[in-house]
Structure 1
């Protein structure tokens, strides 16, 4: 039997990598947008999200290990998966529709789902909940940044 951490890691990695194949080619639109002056960390964003997804996968593995195969565990795995898909969908959806508002909506949904997931896993594993804190900290930063982009580029909202 394949260890759960390998399965969870492989699913996380596949979704992350899969996003590169579904990202629309029209990144010129996003590249030409005005950025806030304080957005000096933009080159680090892929690294930051990679760390966050690793923490999320580790969190999911701790939850799975507490009660493998139970209905509640499967529901929580579905929530982890939904959170990753919503997070990964931010760039492709925003580019496809050339709409910063789409990104802001997906970011806001991700923040809410992240909070709900964290509160749901807290009674199961404090460590699993703690591993979701990077998402809870960073996701609102991304959503706020998108709102700032809307203010600087209202024609692209």
Structure 2
């Protein structure tokens, strides 16, 4: 059986990927949004996130193994826990609540958590930090895409209560 930190990293990635997929509804509301011509095709987002989260999980393993003390390991856990929360929050805001404007505000917290991961793991593993660069770049791109969708479609309102 794999070491606990390896299982934790795999679970972190699987939960985020699974939740992101489950909470992303490409239905009529989304299809009717105006989107920029440079938006990648919808089918690309799943594979992109799979690669990014797999690399981030590998980075977590390397950072954990490079952390020489329990307090350093707790830093790694804290960075990944914060990122988990901010990553997990984006899809329900955008898709379930149909509030790209709220998702845009949240994306700055997500971006900050990814940058914190990239910088925070560097003392433990340069490779771990490098593995997180695509995550930073993709979230930067996704935030700009989110901004453009808000600009093209806003203002947004909360769905009416039943």
TM-score of the two chains, using structure 2 as the length reference: 0.83
Question: 1:16, 1:88 within 8 Å by CA — same for their partners in 2?
Answer: no
The residue correspondences of 1:1-157 to structure 2 (distance < 5 A) are 2-3=2-3, 4-21=5-22, 23=23, 27-67=27-67, 70-156=70-156
Q: CA RMSD in A?
A: 2.3
1:56-107 residue CA offsets vs partner (Å, 9 max, x unmatched) = 1000000111237712212322221321331232111223332111111121
Question: 2:35, 2:149 within 8 Å by CA — same for their partners in 1?
Answer: yes
Task: Find the aligned partners of 1:26 and 1:45 in 2 and give their Cα distance.
Answer: 12
- CA 1:39 to 1:25, structure 2 compared with 1: closer, same or farther past 3 Å? closer
TM-score of the two chains, using structure 1 as the length reference: 0.86
- CA 1:142 to 1:58, structure 2 compared with 1: closer, same or farther past 3 Å? same
Task: Find the aligned partners of 1:100 and 1:18 in 2 and give their Cα distance.
Answer: 18
Which ranges of structure 1 fall in alignment gaps of 5 or more residues? none
1:84-143 residue CA offsets vs partner (Å, 9 max, x unmatched) = 331232111223332111111121111112112211111211001001100111101000
- CA 1:115 to 1:26, structure 2 compared with 1: closer, same or farther past 3 Å? closer
Which ranges of structure 2 fall in alignment gaps of 5 or more residues? 158-162
